[in-house]
């Protein structure tokens, strides 16, 4: 299936699943509402779509269990956004055009909403997939050697002249912060879809290139888009002394690096007849 048709088909089903289950499976109504506020704030659902697209690519049927697993990934992604925005972290007031969780509900409530979304995401993955390897892949991707470790390096890098042009450090930080969760979404799809020994490394190589590209894309959005288009404060990385690949390479070299990663990701997909995964690369066109 083409990416645009795939997205059109599955995004509303992801949204509905998230809204329904958060409303019916959380005992405390008020707390469920706080969690749902951030989950339903209008994300692109990139990571669950990516997981489902791997299943589609491998010819695996997408049923309710697959959908629960996919939505578990989105819960975990949302937790990471809520905690990133906290006053002690990036201290952001807006996200996707809406007040951030702590501005809307209070800081303790926002910390706890994140603390609840993370294990709920794990629970959905465990129960949806019934697969302990997939659950471990996700847990590893967001722990100290994954996303949380990347956030730690990010704190350390902010206003730190020593790492400003240390491309190894910045690469590693950005990979852990963003790439790891994208790779995990694809790897979980490869396990769930029972990719064979030839398909699996190709999918993982694609995920590596796509994930690395995504961070460069995200940094480019910060300088290229207006804050209205992006739905959050832009041009703030430089103002806040954030160091990343873009502040190190500059806009034009970053675009070049992004294009190279796109070409590489496309090459990793040549064995697959279904065009859906290649279509994800179209997202990056708007900053090229």
Residue numbers of the site for its own copies (CB under 8 A)? 25-28, 30-32, 35, 83, 86, 88-89, 106-109, 111-112, 114-116, 118-120, 122-123, 126-127, 129-132, 135-136, 138-140, 142-146, 148-149, 151-153, 155-156
Nearer to its own copies, 42 or 106 (CB): 106
Cβ 108 to its own copies shortest distance, Å = 5
> Considering just the CA atoms, what is the radius of gyration of the chain in Å?
18
Helix axes 132-142, 147-157, angle to 10 degrees: 10
Measured CA to CA, the distance from residue 245 to residue 143 in angstroms comes to: 23
Instruction: Quote the least distance from Cβ 93 to its own copies, whole Å.
Output: 16
At closest approach, how far in Å is the CB of 229 from its own copies? 29
Give SS3 for 95.
strand
Both tokens assigned to 254: 């970053």
Name the residue nearer to its own copies (CB basis): 10 or 169: 169
CB of 177 to its own copies, least distance (A): 11
Residue 176 or 261 with smaller CB distance to its own copies? 176
Beta pairing partners, 94 = 99
By the 8 A CB rule, do 80 and 134 touch? no
- Are 206 and 269 a contacting pair, CB within 8 Å? yes
| 9 or 127: CB nearest its own copies | 127
- And the tokens for 141? 């991707």
**In which residue are the tokens 């939505």 written?**
71
Return the number of the residue (5 or 88) whose C-beta is nearest its own copies. Answer: 88
Q: How far is the CB of 265 from its own copies (least distance, A)?
A: 25
């Amino acid at each position: 299936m083409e990416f645009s048709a795939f997205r059109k088909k599955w995004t509303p089903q992801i949204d509905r699943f998230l809204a329904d289950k958060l409303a019916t499976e959380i005992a405390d109504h008020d707390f469920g509402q706080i969690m749902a506020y951030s989950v339903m704030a209008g994300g692109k659902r990139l990571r669950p779509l990516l997981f489902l697209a791997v299943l589609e690519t491998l010819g695996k049927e997408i049923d309710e269990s697959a959908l629960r697993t996919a939505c578990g990934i989105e819960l975990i992604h949302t937790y990471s956004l809520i905690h990133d925005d906290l006053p002690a972290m990036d201290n952001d007031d807006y996200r996707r055009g809406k007040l951030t969780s702590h501005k809307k509900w209070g800081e303790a409530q926002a910390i706890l909403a994140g603390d609840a979304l993370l294990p709920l995401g794990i629970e959905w993955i465990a129960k949806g997939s019934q697969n302990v390897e997939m659950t471990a892949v996700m847990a590893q991707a967001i722990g100290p050697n994954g996303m949380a470790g990347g956030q730690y390096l990010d704190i350390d890098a902010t206003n730190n002249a020593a790492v400003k042009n240390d491309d190894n450090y910045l690469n590693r930080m950005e990979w852990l912060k963003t790439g790891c969760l994208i790779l995990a979404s694809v790897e979980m799809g490869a396990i769930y879809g029972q990719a064979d020994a030839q398909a699996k490394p190709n999918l993982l190589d694609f995920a590596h290139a796509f994930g690395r590209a995504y961070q460069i894309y995200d940094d480019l959005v910060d300088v290229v888009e207006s804050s209205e288009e992006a739905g959050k404060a832009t041009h703030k990385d430089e103002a806040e002394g954030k160091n990343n690949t873009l502040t190190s390479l500059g806009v034009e070299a970053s675009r070049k690096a992004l294009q190279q990663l796109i070409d590489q990701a496309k090459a990793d997909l040549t064995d697959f007849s279904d065009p859906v995964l290649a279509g994800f690369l179209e997202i990056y066109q708007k900053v090229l």
